[in-house]
Amino acid sequence: MITKSLRPILFVMAFMFFVLPGTNLSAQSDKDSANLKDWWKNAVIYEIYPRSFQDTNNDGLGDINGITAHLDYLHELGIDAIWISPCYPSPQADFGYDISDYKNIDPAYGTLADFDRLVAEAKKRNIRIMMDMVMNHSSDKHKWFEESRKSKTNPYRDWYVWHDGKGETATDKGQPPNNWLSEFGHSAWEWDETTRQYYYHKFYIGQPDVNWDNPKIHDAFKDIMRFWYKHGVVGFRFDAITTLYEDPKLEDEEYVKDKDGNIVINAYGDKTTDGKKTEFYPQVHDVMVEMRKASDEFPSNKFPGTHVLVGETYVPTINDLAKLYGTPEKPEFHLPMDTQIGLGINKFDVAAFRTRISEAETKLNGNIPLIVFDNHDNPRLDARFGDGVHDTDIQRAVSTILFMTRGASLFYYGDEIGMKTTPPTRKEDVKDPVGVTGWPKEKGRDGERTPMQWDDSKNAGFSNAAPWLPVPPSYTSINVKAETADPNSLFHWYQKLIELKKTNDAIAHGDNVMLDQSNTNVLSWIRASGPNRVVISVNFTAQPQTVNLSTPDVQAKSLKTLLKSPGATDPGNISHIELGPFGVYIGQL
């Protein structure tokens, strides 16, 4: 029996043992589940072009095991997720974007078991894996298309877009149904002799467009998505998503004219069309609502946390981008890429950056922007922003905008060490079909797909065999081994920015407001979360600049430097921040 006097003491003890720890535990687990739910809201996503990352079986091609081999490196860099460009079985006409089996791994890159091991090893390091979802087209070697082309009555016939030509006779194929162009040059229609019709391909001849008016296509792609969720991926990057639908009336597109009224001829020698009948049809929103619902419904037990849908969304305006998030009732993408900032301006223009970053802050209905400056389709940062003299400083400046603005950030393998665009110099060396058709005006995308530069040994440590694309000569100094050893390297700059993005709550989630808005040389902004305020200044010029960021709202006697360009001085005061050529300053108020 417990005496009356002991009762309160026991009660307090019980409270301490059972109730208090319980409260702490549940607060912790609330936080964990919020982290799992919201992981993508300031995510750092790293794109790997698998063919070029690391070869482990000496065939000159990167592979899945090559990604697994470098997970410690990626963990050290600080990323949250890897998006792997297509690694499915493929004839490789467009290096994986022509898929012949959506539910397997290309034997050149490994096996499904290798893939499962990658997912498991990545999870140990808290790194998530995302796949590429190519729904606009398959390969012409996919069994769906092989069936489809057999006869007009084949059950797969209406899985693709088939039409009669114009003026066709029993002996003559006539002309394509209209003037639509392939992104990769020439007519988007290919004659198929067996059934004497044309099929539509927005991209390469070996990439026939699937028919999104067919409900079976919708089911097929939802099924593919579930297949990869079962293998533990956490989301997808939707390829060429704005091109799913075309004008059902097959009307010609208008030609694009220059200021003198002459039709513009593109790099392939074709009369340029305006793309208005082959892109941006509103049904894409319905498809994404459907895909999002299927994605949300699938349990995320292999890697707990929200499944995330990223979009390759080159759209003309910020309002078009806003629509791709959908509505709270009918959500679409979590993260449609904002290509306006990082891939739309392509020169250091302070006013343009200020406008576009502010738009991402104010015109996306509070949704999370996904900023991206680089990928496997565009010349690397040196070619678009570099001046040949200050390239590393310029890459510091670009990456500061990438990681220090609000939202999620996406970058491309090799950016973190400053890999340089290295296009082929002879037509016979070109691998990309874009360059093969477009040479010499359009050299294709090989220049931004060269092997990852790991060290200064033969082939930059990428492969013991001849690499599928040549290693740029700059690998002797631009490589992971040299840069991880040098505290002032670009690698360490990326690492520090990512760490700030992950650990400083103003940078992780705070508001993003422009400062010093009339300055035409320096872009400055403030990130604020309650009392925690961080200012960022980036010099867009090769001349030293000094800025004064104090305003009635933003004042501080002292600033604590969080990060600054190598060699920069600590400002005594917010009203006098000195920046070297393309210099960066990040400080806490």
Chain residues in the site for Ca ion (CB under 5 A): 55, 57, 59, 61, 63
| 240: contact with ligand GLC by CB under 6 A | yes
| 446: contact with ligand GLC by CB under 6 A | no
Q: Out of 312, 332, 432, 448, which one is annotated catalytic?
A: 312
- Decide: 562 and 400 in contact? Cβ < 8 Å: no
- Decide: 581 and 557 in contact? Cβ < 8 Å: no
**Residue 464 Cβ vs Ca ion, minimum distance, rounded to whole Å:** 10
Instruction: Work out what residue 229 binds among Ca ion, ligand GLC, none; the CB cut-off runs from 5 to 8 Å by kind.
Output: none
312 catalytic per annotation: yes
Burial of 194 (0-12, 13-18, 19+ CB in 10 A): exposed
239 catalytic per annotation: yes
Which of 53, 353 has the CB closer to ligand GLC? 53
In the set 63, 80, 94, 516, which binds ligand GLC (CB under 6 A)?
94
Which of 277, 376 has the CB closer to ligand GLC? 376
Buried b or exposed e, range 63-95, using 16+ CB within 10 angstroms:
bbbbbbebbebbeebbbbbbbbbbbbbbebbbb
∠146-152-156 over CA atoms, to 5°? 45
Q: Out of 190, 239, 359, 391, which one is annotated catalytic?
A: 239
Which of 240, 538 has the CB closer to ligand GLC? 240
- Decide: 320 and 281 in contact? Cβ < 8 Å: no
- Decide: 278 and 245 in contact? Cβ < 8 Å: no
In the set 134, 321, 402, 574, which binds ligand GLC (CB under 6 A)?
134
- Across 279-421, where does the E strand assignment appear? 308-311, 335-338, 370-372, 408-412
Q: Which of residues 180-219 bind ligand GLC (CB under 6 A)?
A: 203
Number of residues that bind ligand GLC (CB under 6 A): 9
Closest residue to Ca ion, judged by C-beta, is 63
| 315: contact with ligand GLC by CB under 6 A | no
Structural tokens at position 546: 């000094």
Distance CA 461, CA 124 (A): 25
Distance CA 457, CA 462 (A): 9
**Residue 61 Cβ vs Ca ion, minimum distance, rounded to whole Å:** 4
| 97: contact with ligand GLC by CB under 6 A | yes
Which of 239, 361 has the CB closer to ligand GLC? 239
Which of 55, 239 has the CB closer to ligand GLC? 239
Which of 375, 459 has the CB closer to ligand GLC? 375
| 377: contact with ligand GLC by CB under 6 A | yes
Q: Which residues make beta-bridge pairs with 577? A: 547
Closest residue to ligand GLC, judged by C-beta, is 97
Look up residue 319 and give its amino acid: N
| 47: contact with ligand GLC by CB under 6 A | no
- Decide: 255 and 263 in contact? Cβ < 8 Å: yes
Look up residue 198 and give its amino acid: Y
Catalytic center residues = 239, 312
Per CB under 6 A, residues contacting ligand GLC are 94, 97, 134, 203, 239-240, 312, 376-377
